[in-house]
């Protein structure tokens, strides 16, 4: 009787036990990373003042870097979508000889140190085909090199994002569309691409944000010439190199602000509710 | 009319070979077989979504073996319905007609009349997300019927439906048959589907099709 009572007591506890300790455990472990991000932002904010920020914004060099960063990142994001969508679709839907090799190749920009990518681009434009291009369109140490350096890295992320987006869409819809009268081309444009629109938005955002933070390849391939190839990441480097830590922090905060603004705006447009509910794009 | 002669089709390591069968015009055939025996592969080959290795497929006396799916005139309802998620139910129904450049007024009229007798008129402005299994199935059926197909291919159309909805769908499929007289190939592993609907019953076993006395 006593044993039965004890048993029923423990099973009642089992039946009604809470998930709270598990959730708290997850939050504590994951929270370490969140705290690190917040701490870095707070540290940056505490190291600067509105005056430093205004000084940075008034500087012609910084204004040029902001303009070039916004322009180059936006062009790069569009180019990444332009290339990422077809490549992601091919990798997702087709089996072909050498696919494994192609996938490995596309991972190279993700795993290579960014400096190596910059060096490789620099060497590429010293070869005969590269010099031929340079004769008609100056690339190295000019604005196109900034876009190319950003594109070389960011596009790999866009391709991976688009591939996952297409993987998550069943090919069955396209097949039905084809039986209803579509060519493959029409089925892609009318059925699959509209369903992948959030993936496209995510790929573009990721490419934009990745381009904004790109530094190594730009430094090597484009140089860090003020009023010419200076983007915000190189501004931070240039300010640091002359010991202007406050200015470097002010520019960093501008970059953080720009990145957060773009992420918020894109998430907002991507799904009216996703930002509040924390759903993925 | 469907006639399949010595058809061989491969899906990965899986292969169906030397398939032969014939369905007269207007008949309702149920093809049964265990899960994984190749029923869907056979439907895909008929629809032109999977290339056949050898053999011929004839639809209404035309050899369509090498035709693109768009030209075969087959209404295909896959097992997962595959409704177009970014379109309204109305746009789903009108999809095939729009591709055929049917005038807008005629599309509207045909979609309206189709939705009325399928009982989905109240769903026309909704999107597929949130539709029940039975509603989705009616929309998928309507989308396939809108193009007035010469053949209707249904892949497990009643799986995952509750008993009540299943009974409703039996009635609806009988009505579709009576109204359209479309030759139908209905793939299932549910014997009741055959009892309720079929005038020809086939079994796909060990890579061969055999007709069962119905």
Containing domain of residue B97, as a range? 2-212
Asked if A177 lies within 8 A of B84 by C-beta distance, the reply is: yes
pLDDT at A207: 94
Count of structural domains, chain B: 1
Min Cα–Cα distance to chain B from A76, Å = 28
Same domain, yes or no: A111 and A177:
yes
Burial A206-215 (b: 16+ CB within 10 A, else e): bbbbbbbebb
Determine the structural domain holding residue A211 and report its residue range. 58-277
Q: Report the CATH number that the domain containing residue A172 is assigned in CATH.
A: 1.10.3720.10
Cβ contact, residue pair B70, A178, below 8 Å:
yes
pTM score of the predicted model: 0.86
Question: C-alpha angle with apex B80: B79 to B81, nearest 5 degrees?
Answer: 90
Shared domain check, A155 and A256:
yes
Indicate whether A2 pLDDT > 70.
no
Testing the interface with B: which of A179, A193, A195 to mutate, by most B Cβ within 10 A?
A179
Sign for the CA dihedral angle at B64, B65, B70, B73 comes to positive
What pLDDT is recorded for position B214? Answer: 57
pLDDT score, position B160: 77
The chain-wide mean pLDDT, for chain A, equals 89
Q: Which chain B positions have a beta carbon within 8 Å of A270's beta carbon?
A: none
Task: Give the A:B interface size as CB pairs under 8 Å.
Answer: 62
Residues A177 and A66 in one domain: yes
Whether A179 and B143 lie within 8 Å, measured CB to CB: no
Output the pLDDT for position A19: 87
Q: How far is A169 from chain B (nearest CA, A)?
A: 10
Look at chain A and report how many structural domains it folds into: 2
Residue A9: pLDDT band with limits 50, 70, 90: low
Same domain, A78 and A101: yes
CB atoms within 10 A of CB A108: 13
**Residues A206-243: pLDDT tens digits?**
999 999 999 999 999 999 899 999 999 999 999 999 98
Does A162 lie in the same domain as A27?
no
- Those residues whose C-beta lies under 8 Å from the C-beta of residue B121, and which sit 6 or more positions away, are B112, B115
Q: Both A136 and A14 in a single domain? A: no
Report pLDDT for A277: 45
Contacts of A181 in chain B (CB under 8 A): 70, 96, 99-100, 147
With DSSP H G I counted as helix, E B as strand and the rest as coil, what are the percentages for chain A, rounded to 5? 80, 0, 20
**What is residue A269's predicted lDDT score, i.e. its pLDDT?**
67
A80 and A202 fall within a common domain? yes
- Report DSSP state, residue A244: -
Cross-chain residue pair A173–B99, CB shorter than 8 Å: no
Instruction: List the pLDDT tens digit at each of the 214 positions of chain B.
Output: 899 999 999 877 778 888 998 999 999 999 998 888 888 999 999 999 999 999 999 999 899 999 999 999 999 999 999 999 999 999 999 999 999 999 999 999 999 999 998 999 999 999 999 899 999 999 999 999 999 999 999 999 988 788 888 999 999 999 999 999 999 999 998 889 999 999 999 998 887 888 887 5
Least confident of A3-12, A48-57, A175-184: A3-12
Residues of A with a Cβ under 8 Å from any B Cβ are 170, 172-173, 175-183, 186, 190-191, 194-195, 197
Has residue A159 got a pLDDT over 60? Answer: yes
CATH number at residue B30: 3.40.50.300
């Amino acid at each position: 009787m006593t044993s039965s009572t004890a048993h029923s007591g423990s099973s009642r506890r089992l039946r009604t036990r809470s998930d709270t300790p598990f959730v708290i455990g997850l939050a504590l472990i994951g929270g370490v990373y969140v705290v690190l991000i917040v701490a870095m932002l707070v540290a940056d904010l505490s190291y600067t003042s509105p005056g430093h920020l205004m000084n940075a914004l008034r500087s012609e060099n910084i204004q040029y870097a902001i303009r070039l960063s916004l322009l180059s990142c936006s062009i790069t994001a569009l180019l990444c979508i332009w290339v990422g969508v077809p490549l992601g679709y091919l990798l997702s839907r087709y089996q072909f000889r050498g696919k494994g090799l192609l996938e490995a190749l596309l991972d190279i920009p993700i795993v290579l140190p960014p400096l190596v990518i910059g060096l490789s681009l620099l060497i590429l434009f010293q070869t005969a085909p590269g010099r031929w291009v340079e004769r008609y369109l100056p690339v190295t140490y000019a604005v196109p090199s900034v876009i190319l350096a950003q594109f070389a890295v960011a596009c790999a992320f866009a391709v991976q994002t688009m591939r996952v987006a297409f993987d998550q869409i069943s090919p069955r819809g396209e097949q039905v569309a084809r039986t209803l009268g579509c060519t493959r081309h029409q089925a892609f444009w009318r059925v699959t691409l509209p369903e992948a629109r959030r993936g496209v938005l995510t790929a573009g955002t990721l490419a934009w944000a990745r381009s904004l933070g790109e530094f190594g390849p730009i430094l090597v391939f484009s140089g860090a010439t003020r009023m010419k190839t200076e983007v915000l990441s190189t501004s931070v480097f240039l300010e640091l190199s002359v010991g202007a830590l406050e200015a470097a922090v002010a520019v960093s905060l501008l970059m953080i602000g720009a990145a957060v603004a773009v992420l918020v705006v894109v998430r907002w447009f991507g799904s009216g509710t996703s930002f509040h509910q924390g759903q993925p794009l | 009319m469907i006639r399949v002669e010595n058809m061989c089709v491969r899906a990965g390591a899986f292969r169906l070979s030397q398939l032969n069968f014939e369905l007269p015009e207007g008949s309702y055939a149920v093809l049964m077989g265990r899960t994984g025996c190749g029923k869907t592969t056979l439907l895909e080959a008929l629809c032109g979504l999977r290339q056949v290795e050898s053999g011929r497929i004839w639809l209404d006396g035309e050899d369509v073996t090498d035709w693109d799916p768009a030209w075969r005139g087959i209404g295909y309802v896959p097992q997962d319905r595959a409704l177009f998620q970014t379109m309204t139910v109305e746009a789903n129904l009108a999809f095939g007609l729009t591709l055929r450049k049917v005038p807008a007024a005629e599309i509207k009229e045909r979609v309206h009349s189709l939705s009325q007798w399928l009982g989905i008129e109240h769903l026309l402005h909704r999107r597929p997300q949130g539709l029940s299994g039975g509603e989705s199935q009616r929309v998928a059926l309507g989308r396939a019927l809108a193009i007035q197909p010469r053949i209707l291919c249904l892949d497990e159309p009643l799986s995952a439906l509750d008993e009540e909805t299943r009974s409703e769908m039996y009635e609806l499929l009988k009505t579709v048959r009576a109204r359209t007289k479309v030759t139908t190939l209905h793939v299932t592993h549910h014997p009741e589907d055959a009892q309720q609907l079929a005038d020809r019953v086939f079994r796909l076993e060990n890579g061969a099709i055999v007709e069962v006395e119905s």
